[in-house]
Structure formats: structure tokens, C-alpha cells
Amino acid sequence: MKALLIVDVQNDFLPGGALAVNDGDQVIPVINALQDHFDLIVATQDWHPSDHGSFAANHPGRNVGEFIDLNGVQQILWSVHCVQESVGADFHTDLERDKWAAVFQKGTQKTVDSYSGFFDNNRQGDTGLSSFLKKEGATDLFVCGLATDYCVKFTVLDGMSEGFNTYLIADGTKAVNLEVGDYARSIKTMEQHGARIITSKDLIM
Ligand code: VGL
Ligand code: ZN
């Protein structure tokens, strides 16, 4: 059984947001059209406390884009984004949510970041996404959303390691591209781990 997983389509990752992904809003109509073709749809939501360790603002003297050691895990420092209960953490209002079975929040512990929708970056915290999908009978996981080179990539890799046949819907995702080429590198990494790269046309016929 197939499931659609929508990663972090939140205001802060969209144009005008605190950590805006270029053209991030272009994924919204693609994802809305895809939703008609799935009976099981789940979403993830980046959901940080304001004192989160991934925010450069919480490390005096440090800047966005620098790397630090956050409790033993390498961490890129980001601008303040997706703070719990803020407008930036909300899903875009154009994104249809009527059919969503559940939302899995991540990055809720200030001591560790969570790119994957499944597990924290230190692999300790589990959002419950994998057990939920398995309980619902999902075998094939179709991933879309933001951002290709961070949360989408790590969600796809964990989807594979959790035993799902995992697909990336390429036109349903956009990258941060902190470094030129990050989008292409992340696609290659996902493919090398066995994920299949498709487009929404492969699902909508
Ligand atoms: C993300 C950076 C920081 C993402 C989340 O959703 O890709 N990127 N937090
Ligand atoms: Zn985040």
C-alpha cells in the first residue's frame, strides 16, 4: 500500500520566510494534485523551541552557516525558524490538509536537531512515523516537500532503512542549496541508497 509523506511545507521555508527555499511555493500545487491519488497521507512539521541549539542566535558570536558540535553531533547553524506556535511554523494556507492522517513534529528537543521525519540526528528520538506507517499497512513511501538537501533527503534515507520502498517525487521538492550543487548531490545520494526518483506525472495519469 502506498503512502504520501509531505515534508515541512511550512511558511518559514517558503518565499518570505525565515529560512526560505527558492521557489519553495512551487511545490504546493504539485503536492495538492498528488493528494487525490493517495489514501494515506502524512506530513512532518519542523517544530523548534525558541532556545533550539540549531539557531545561530542561541550561540553568541556564531553566524548562520557555521558548523558547531551540538552534543557530539555536527550541526549547521540556521536562522531562527519554525518556532513552535509561530506563523512561520504553520503550514502554508494553500496546502490542502483535509486528508492528512497525522502530522509528525520534529526538532522539538533543544539539544538535538532532527532533519529526518523519522529520527533525531543523533538517532535517539523517534517521532513514531515508522510505526504509524507500518500499522497503517504502508509499504511504498512517496516523499515530497522541503528541503530536498536536508529534511527530504534524510527522510528518504531513513524511509529506505526502515524497509519502505521509497520514492522521491522530484517536482514536489525544492532545495536550500547552501552550496551550489547541493540539490544534485542530494538526489545522487538518495539514488545510491536505493531510492527511486520519479515525477508527479508518474503518479497522476
Ligand atoms: C530544514 C534546515 C533546518 C528542512 C529544517 O526542513 O529541510 N532545514 N530545519
Ligand atoms: Zn529546523
Query: Please, which pLDDT band fits residue 54 given cuts at 50, 70 and 90?
Result: very high
Q: Is 82 a catalytic residue?
A: no
**146 alpha carbon to ligand 1 midpoint, in Å?**
7
Output the average pLDDT for the chain: 97
- Grid cell at residue 176: 536550500
Classify the C-alpha dihedral 141-171-67-181 as positive or negative. Answer: positive
Percent of the chain surpassing pLDDT 70: 100
Q: Which atom of ligand 1 is nearest to the CA of 147?
A: 7
- The one-character DSSP state at 90 is S
pLDDT of residue 205: 75
What is the ipTM metric for this complex? 0.98
Give the pTM.
0.98
Neighbours of 109 (CB within 10 A): 17
Q: Mind listing the domains of the chain with CATH numbers?
A: 2-48+81-202 (3.40.50.850)
Is residue 87 predicted with pLDDT exceeding 80? yes
Binding-site residues, ligand 1, Cβ < 6 A: 8, 13, 46, 78, 146-147, 150-151
Query: Please, which pLDDT band fits residue 50 given cuts at 50, 70 and 90?
Result: very high
Q: Which atom of ligand 1 is nearest to the CA of 152?
A: 7
Q: Is 90 a catalytic residue?
A: no
Q: Which atom of ligand 1 is nearest to the CA of 13?
A: 6
Q: What is the mean pLDDT of residues 123-141?
A: 97
The catalytic residue among 106, 144, 153, 174 is: 106
**Helix crossing, 153-161 with 182-192: angle to 10°?**
0
